[in-house]
Structure 1
Amino acid sequence: MSWKNTKQNSFADSLVVEHKSLSELDDVHNIINWNEIEQTLSNLYSSVRGAPSYPPLMMFKILILQAWYGLSDEALEKQIARDLMFRRFIDLSLSESVPDHSSIWHFRQLLNTEKLLEPLLEQINTHLEQNSIIVSLGSINIIDATVIEAKQCRKRKGKNGNNTQDKEAGYNVKTAADGKKKTTYGFKMHANTDEDGFVKKMTYTPGNVHDSKEFDKLLDISKSKTCGQVFADSAYANKNNNEKLGKENNKILHRAYRNKPLTKEQKQENKQRSSIRYIVERTFGLLKLHHGLGKARYLGLERNKARAQLIAISHNLKTGMNIFKRMRNLRDCCIQ
């Protein structure tokens, strides 16, 4: 299947008056090698029959915009049609038609089916590392999980009398800061972030899966003998994790047990570790505040996992773009 040529400028494009608001997202192109991303996506459309389709790189950029601005598929279609900055970012000429919401939905499903979102997150992180935005040498791991309420979280009867709750979600019971237990029916996003809040790796599970179950997947200890220092709350504190990490890398909060309270030294260490561990909680807060992660948009685990992965990718791109701007401003000041 061939791809549409959406980049060729038309007479209408030449009439657009340049304005700084149109170039707000241009710095993304300075930190990411889109040619390599395009190669990763190049085999998505393998059929030689059918009408030309929209380029997969353009469709991927559209999903990035969706995650950045928290838009539904229908709202995203409308925004691309009327927003010059959106068209500029995805290289879509004014003379070209806009992908409809069903095309956007199908492409997101295709990325998930082909399991490309995790490799894309790793690839983008590699590009950020190559541009000295992500620091890998001596990087730490800050691990935690956050609860995401299911789209249909309450027990209600449907037309056929069956429960309409999302069958792939689960109940999570958590003790809040005020000591009261809070029950949420939904999912969990488990993440490993660095000290700058970049999402290094993430997994997605039903809400009833214990945080510690995803510990090894987030660290990939099996692939590397040294993973660096690991900061996490006391839910991850157990004998197995202590042995895996060793004394030097283990920065998990100490846990008090019955008849074995924390010592003064352990309390002090917990305080120091918490001052670093909060970064992952801040990242979750940003994802929920700006990207709507706190509420699932779809039914089923896989669709919501794909959405969470796209949100993580977009968060890393936005964070990387902001750091790049600060680096450039600092460089310009030094030159002056």
Structure 2
Amino acid sequence: MNRKIDMKLGKYKTSGNCSFFDEQEIKEKLREIGNPLEKIIEVIDFEMFLSLLETQMLNHNKKNNAGANPFDVVMMFKIMILQRYYGLGDSQIEYQIIDRISFKSFLGLSNGDKVPDEKTVWAFRESITNKGVIEKLFAAFTDFLESKGFLMNEPPFGCGWTQTSPIGNSCSNSLCPPIEHSFDERA
């Protein structure tokens, strides 16, 4: 018998119809399960990084409005956070942002929003690294989270996010040991 007919006859659960509230229902389910990115958004106001990012990253000597506007620098820093703690390369972060509702939500993006491509992510990281800003940003980020009672456990070689998660060790670096993801809220 045809599988589509089996579905229509009620032999299996149907996949349902798309509704206007599907994305909201998925976000609520993620919240219920325990979305670590949502916990971070609840405790940290990322605008605290805006001043440092804008003074270091934006071209203040631009003479005209030619060329495309840059992506929001705070969102780009959040992408650096996702890369570091999930162990994702530039092409993988682009894919994961497009694919994952939790990443889009963390970045403040909706389904129709433009996502930075891998070259844009690479260029941003190179720029904040060359200007000596990246480690200052990550130090401030982890210090702030720790001051709010959260502990970030970053495995060696920058491969891993610290939350019990089905993603496993997604780092492509063969030197990375298998990791146990955990994002601990201090008691």
**TM-score bin, normalised by smaller chain:** 0.5 to 0.7
Aligned partners of 2:86 and 2:172: how far apart in 1? 12
- Match of residue 45 from structure 2: 33
Amino acid at match of 1:30: E
Conserved 8 A contact 1:42-1:56 = yes
> Is 1:56 the equivalent of 2:63?
no
1:195-214 alignment runs, 5 A limit: none
**Does residue 1:46 correspond to 2:59, yes or no?**
yes
User: Secondary structure at 1:42's aligned position in 2?
Assistant: helix
Contact 1:77/1:101, CA 8 A, preserved across alignment: yes
CA separation of 1:51 and 1:123: change in aligned 2, threshold 3 A: same
For structure 2, the 5+ residue unaligned runs are 1-18, 161-167, 176-180
Larger radius of gyration: 1
- For residues 157 and 128 of structure 2, the distance between their equivalents in structure 1, rounded to whole angstroms, comes to 26
Residues of 2 paired with 1:83 and 1:55: CA distance? 19
- Whole-angstrom distance in 2 between the partners of 1:13 and 1:127: 37
The answer as to 2:115 corresponding to 1:98 is: yes
Structure number having the greater strand percentage? 1
Instruction: Provide the alpha-carbon RMSD of the alignment.
Output: 3.4
The reply to whether residue 120 of structure 1 matches residue 120 of structure 2 is no
2: CA distance between counterparts of 1:42 and 1:84? 27
Q: Percent identity?
A: 25
- Give the letter for the 1:98 counterpart: V
Q: Residues 155-166 of structure 1 correspond to what in structure 2 (within 5 A)?
A: none
C-alpha contact (below 8 Å) 1:37/1:57 kept by paired residues: yes
CA 1:14 to 1:75, structure 2 compared with 1: closer, same or farther past 3 Å? same
Per-residue CA distance 1:244-303 (angstroms, 9 max, x = gap): xxxxxxxxxxxxxxxxxxxxxxxxxxxxxxxxxxxxxxx53994894649658xxxxxxx
Distance in 1 of aligned mates of 2:127 and 2:157: 29
Unaligned runs of 5+ in 1: 1-11, 135-196, 200-282, 297-317, 328-336
Retained in 2: the 8 A contact 1:67–1:291?
no
Q: Distance in 2 between matches of 1:36 and 1:124?
A: 10
Q: Against the structure 1 CA distance between its residues 115 and 84, is the aligned structure 2 distance closer, same or farther, given a 3 Å change threshold?
A: same
Change (3 A) 1:78 1:111: same
Considering fraction of residues, name the structure with more helix.
2
CA distance in 2, matches of 1:78, 1:133: 28
Shift of 1:109: 0.5
Contact 2:86-2:159 at 8 Å conserved across structures: no
Q: Secondary structure of 1:323's match?
A: strand
Question: Is the contact between residue 84 and residue 158 of structure 2 (CA under 8 Å) also seen in structure 1?
Answer: no
Any runs of at least 4 consecutive aligned residues in structure 1 with deviations exceeding 6 A, and if so which?
Answer: none
Q: Quick check: 1:87–1:93 contact (8 Å CA) kept in 2? A: yes
- Equivalenced residues, count: 148
Question: Which residue does the alignment assign to 1:74?
Answer: 91
